[in-house]
Each structure stands twice: as C-alpha cells, then as structure tokens.
Amino acid sequence: MADAPYLIALALLEQNGERAMPLQGKSLREPLAADADPGEVGHQQALELMLRVWQRSDQGALSRAGGDHSLLLVAVPIEALQDALPAMKARWLNTGDTKALLQDLKGQASGGIWSLKLEPRQPLAYERLY
C-alpha cells in the first residue's frame, strides 16, 4: 500500500483578507495512466470541493488566489497526505506563493497535476500542468 494513489482537489482562495486552501480527496483503486486525466472521479471531487467553497461564501466574499491555477487536482501517494501536504499548505497560507506551491506539488505528484477550465459553452476541461 506504499504507493496507494490519492486524488486531491484543492482551491486557492482569499476570503476576508486571508488565504485559504480547502481540500477534497478520494482514494483511487489504481494509479492514473501516464497520459490520462482524472476523468469522472476528478469532476466529482471538484464538484464536492466547489460545493464546500460555495457554502463558505456565506462567511464573506471569495476571490481566486492562484489565478488560472486556483482549482487544482493532484494525484499523490497517500503518504504525502500525512507528511508533505500539511507543510505545503502551511507555506502557501503564509506566503501566497502559488509558483512555489506548484513546484512542491510537482515533487510529490505521482500521477500528475491539472487545473480545471471552463470556457463559455464548453464542457469542463483539464489542463495538465505536470
């Protein structure tokens, strides 16, 4: 189980002058293929995360804190959840350095990193970052 894959959806946002990084995740039965995207499971995780973000808007106005890379999906080994991810999250919350966060995530990603895009009158699409 050392390489158990886990898919994380994360949002980089600002609310009431403070950064926040809500997360949503799901264990995968097997690693994603090298040329694959997260597919339907990624859409489901993003939807659940966005519902939580939407509910959070009751506490104040929200804005994207990472530009086009404010909604990410990352495939990582489950160990990264306990070891590396909390430290990466804390660094980003303190610095807001999205470029450094993406580099940190790249070092942990086992299956890839994608941002989600939605163009007018087009379906939700993945953009592979790494």
Q: What proportion of the chain, given as a percentage, has pLDDT over 90?
A: 76
Residue 33's pLDDT band (cuts 50, 70, 90): confident
What pLDDT, on the 0 to 100 scale, is given for residue 1? 45
Dihedral angle, C-alpha 83, 28, 23, 115, nearest 10 °: 110
What pLDDT, on the 0 to 100 scale, is given for residue 3? 64
How, if at all, do strands 71-77 and 112-117 pair?
Answer: antiparallel
Please provide the distance, in angstroms rounded to a whole number, between the alpha carbons at the two ends of the chain: 24
Instruction: Give me the mean pLDDT over the 112-124 stretch.
Output: 91
Report whether pLDDT(114) > 70: yes
Q: How many helices (H) and strands (E) does the chain have?
A: 4, 8
Report whether pLDDT(7) > 80: yes
What pLDDT, on the 0 to 100 scale, is given for residue 82? 83
Dihedral angle, C-alpha 43, 6, 128, 98, nearest 10 °: 100
Mean pLDDT of the chain: 92
Instruction: Give me the mean pLDDT over the 61-77 stretch.
Output: 94
Q: What proportion of the chain, given as a percentage, has pLDDT over 70?
A: 97
Instruction: Give me the mean pLDDT over the 80-88 stretch.
Output: 88
